[in-house]
Amino acid sequence: MTNTEGTVAGCGVIRIRSVATPGEGELSFFETGRDIDFEIKRIYYIYGVPEGICRGFHAHKELKQLLFCPYGEIRLILDNGTVREEITLNDPSIGVVIDKPTWREMLWLKKDSALCVAASELYKEEDYIRDYGEFLKYVGQEKNESL
Ligand code: TYD
């Protein structure tokens, strides 16, 4: 992965490539194989969320995702079962790659903020873990299997 800016709960933070046109704003882009390690099969975005609302409260078993906030300010709270860390997304050129089972909560710090997600798989409810206790068990089992 290129342009890694650190990690949050084991998830990579990347600087998304951006082109500035003086006086005319910026354009950001990412490409499979160059910026992210997975093929993108689905893009979704969450918007119209009132300030102070927290969404998410789930993890995925297999899904890989790149999350970014093209407008506004959203706090992303990530928990890999061992550490819980957060990052405030308020820069459209910053992305977070979640490529292993990670519990996530997203807090809207500003009204009208948008959260965009590029995902490796089509929507599949069976890939979700929506119970935190189950998530801890799942990552615990995964750790044991890899011993
Ligand atoms: P969910 O992923 O639970 O959103 P959040 O964690 O932000 O609250 O999705 C909310 C609803 O949207 C849920 O009923 C599933 C549906 N959904 C789809 O049908 N397709 C999709 O690609 C996504 C991401 C969600």
Active-site residues, by number, are 58
Query: Is the model's pLDDT at 45 over the cut of 90?
Result: yes
Each residue's pLDDT tens digit, 6-39:
999 999 999 999 999 999 999 999 999 999 999 9
Rounded distance from Cα 67 to ligand 1 centre (Å)? 14
Q: Is the minimum distance from the CB of 123 to ligand 1 under 6 angstroms? A: yes
Res. 132: pLDDT tops 60:
yes
Residue 128, ligand 1, Cβ within 6 A: no
Domain covering 4-145: architecture: Sandwich (2.60)
**pLDDT band at residue 4, thresholds of 50, 70 and 90?**
confident
Pocket test for ligand 1, best of 42, 44, 66, 67 (most atoms within 8 A of CB): 44
pLDDT at 108: 98
Residues 11-14: contacts with CB under 8 Å, at least 24 apart: 11/78, 11/80, 11/96, 11/97, 11/98, 11/99, 11/100, 11/102, 12/96, 12/97, 12/99, 13/87, 13/94, 13/95, 13/96, 13/97, 14/66, 14/94, 14/95, 14/96, 14/97
What does DSSP assign to residue 125?
G
Q: Average of pLDDT values for 126-131?
A: 98
Query: What is the C-alpha to C-alpha distance for residues 19 and 53, in angstroms, rounded to an integer?
Result: 32
Do the beta carbons of residue 66 and residue 30 sit within 8 Å? yes
Going by pLDDT thresholds of 50, 70 and 90, the confidence category of residue 144 is: low
Q: What is the pLDDT of residues 104-122, one digit of tens each?
A: 999 999 999 999 999 999 9
pTM of the model: 0.93
